[in-house]
């Protein structure tokens, strides 16, 4: 048996930023155009007018101030309202692979390791760019890693579930180390024409290197314990899939072929589920909430994180104890808690304990308890 540890993390951030002001301006232009087109039907009462979005609502309801995206011109064009990416040939790296390689190289550099030190790649994300070959195998090839690679998808919890899979393999001795990468192109599955959710997501890629602790050459985070749980729910759903053309109305521009959620219900049901999950996990590991130096939570909604932090800690945590990055990145699905961890963990000292927790569609919740070794 070997002790697994996180020895490096990396974040790829796209160059394009969309502020709430830009987003709302584009959405409102789209709404005005649609309403003008449908003026007759709206007057006759057969079609509802599309109401304007507002910056104030977005910040108050979610805490999100901006998001990074691979393409902003398509998203902000009221006649398009989705990202437009360059067509790539099959001989070129895919977009997900390219983002993941950037994040993975940063994680390797932080750990002081090279591709030769890695035995496996897990590409864990909410969506895959294609059905096959696995995106993870392409990333493995681009990085020059021997061994094996596979894709997995547990939506927003993909990263923590991937870390558990990697940690278990390191512990068992199947592998010495694995890169868990989370390239999330959320702009591709967000319905930018829906006021209720158009502000939610952004694009990013994260990478986490998991190694035997004895192989760490610098500061690392011992993986004390991982815990994953799922419970089926339709409250976050996307019906796009490979059987689409086989259905009578499958090829239509259908709303359910993009991200859909019942946000209120998600909020109400997931907050208690996650708070209980974290409390049970640390209790079972004999860790008191007073012993938790940091919570790196999934980044979907600031109020949601405030509730969870307060319930778990038994008091209102200081912002530094429960860092949020969603104001800058928005919800980046599985990558969110890893960005929070990557950008807010260097200051912890020997023996400090922290916990990464993801949650989302499925429902799914995954927690990783870490101990700092300086």
> Rule CB under 6 A: which residues touch ligand COA?
53-54, 57-58, 61-62, 156, 195-196, 199, 236, 261, 263-264, 266-267, 300-301, 304, 331, 360-361
Query: Cβ-closest residue to ligand COA?
Result: 263
CB 296 within 8 A of CB 312: no
Given the complex with ligand COA, which of 322 and 331 has the nearer CB atom?
Answer: 331
Q: How far is the CB of 110 from ligand COA (least distance, A)?
A: 27
Given the complex with ligand COA, which of 7 and 358 has the nearer CB atom?
Answer: 358
Query: What does each C-alpha distance from 64 to 59, 100, 252, 258, 348 come to in angstroms?
Result: 5, 24, 31, 20, 26
Catalytic residue among 156, 197, 220, 228: 156
Given the complex with ligand COA, which of 148 and 267 has the nearer CB atom?
Answer: 267
CB-based burial label for 37 (10 Å; 0-12, 13-18, 19+): exposed
Given the complex with ligand COA, which of 174 and 233 has the nearer CB atom?
Answer: 233
Separation of first and last alpha carbons in the chain: 23
Q: How far is the CB of 126 from ligand COA (least distance, A)?
A: 8
Beta-strand runs (E) in the chain:
4-12, 16-19, 66-69, 120-124, 148-152, 177-185, 203-212, 220-230, 236-237, 260-261, 292-297, 353-360, 364-373
Scored b (16 or more CB within 10 A) or e, 202-234 reads bbbbbbbbbbbbebbeebbbbbbbbbbbeeebe
Q: How far is the CB of 303 from ligand COA (least distance, A)?
A: 8
Q: How far is the CB of 206 from ligand COA (least distance, A)?
A: 16
**What is the spatial distance between Cα 275 and Cα 113, in angstroms, rounded to a whole number?**
36
Given the complex with ligand COA, which of 4 and 162 has the nearer CB atom?
Answer: 162
Q: Is 156 a catalytic residue?
A: yes
Query: What does each C-alpha distance from 190 to 39, 52, 113 come to in angstroms?
Result: 27, 18, 36
Number of Cβ within a 10 Å radius of residue 239: 14
Q: Which residues are catalytic?
A: 156
């Amino acid at each position: 048996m070997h002790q697994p540890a996180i020895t490096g993390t990396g974040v790829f951030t796209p160059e394009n930023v969309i502020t709430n002001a830009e987003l709302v301006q584009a959405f409102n232009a789209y709404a005005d155009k649609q309403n003008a087109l449908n003026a007759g039907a709206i007057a006759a009462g057969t079609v509802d007018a599309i109401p304007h979005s507002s910056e104030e609502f977005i910040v108050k309801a979610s805490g999100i101030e901006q998001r990074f995206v691979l393409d902003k011109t398509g998203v902000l064009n009221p006649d398009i309202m989705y990202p437009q990416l360059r067509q790539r040939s099959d001989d070129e790296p895919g977009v997900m692979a390219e983002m993941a390689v950037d994040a993975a190289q940063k994680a390797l550099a932080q750990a002081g390791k090279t591709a030769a030190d890695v035995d496996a790649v897990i590409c864990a994300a909410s969506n895959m760019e294609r059905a096959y070959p696995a995106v993870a195998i392409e990333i493995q090839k681009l990085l020059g890693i021997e061994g094996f690679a596979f894709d997995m998808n547990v939506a927003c919890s993909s990263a923590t579930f991937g870390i558990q899979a990697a940690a278990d393999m390191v512990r068992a001795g199947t592998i010495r180390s694995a890169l868990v990468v989370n390239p999330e192109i959320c702009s591709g599955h967000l319905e930018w024409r829906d006021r209720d959710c158009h502000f939610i997501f952004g694009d990013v890629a994260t990478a986490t290197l998991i190694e035997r602790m004895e192989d760490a050459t610098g500061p690392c985070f011992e993986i004390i314990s991982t815990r994953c749980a799922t419970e089926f729910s339709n409250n976050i759903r996307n019906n796009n899939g490979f059987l689409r053309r086989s259905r009578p109305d499958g090829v239509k521009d259908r709303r359910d072929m993009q991200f859909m959620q019942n946000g209120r219900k998600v909020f109400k049901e997931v907050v208690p589920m996650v708070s209980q999950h974290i409390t049970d996990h640390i209790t079972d590991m004999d860790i008191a909430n007073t012993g938790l130096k940091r919570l790196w939570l999934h980044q979907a909604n600031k109020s949601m994180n405030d509730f969870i932090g307060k319930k778990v800690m038994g008091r209102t945590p200081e912002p530094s104890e429960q860092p949020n990055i969603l104001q800058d990145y928005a919800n980046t699905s599985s990558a969110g808690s890893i960005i929070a961890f990557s950008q807010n963990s260097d200051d912890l000292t020997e023996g400090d304990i922290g916990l990464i927790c993801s949650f989302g569609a499925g429902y799914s919740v995954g927690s990783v308890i870490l101990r700092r070794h300086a």
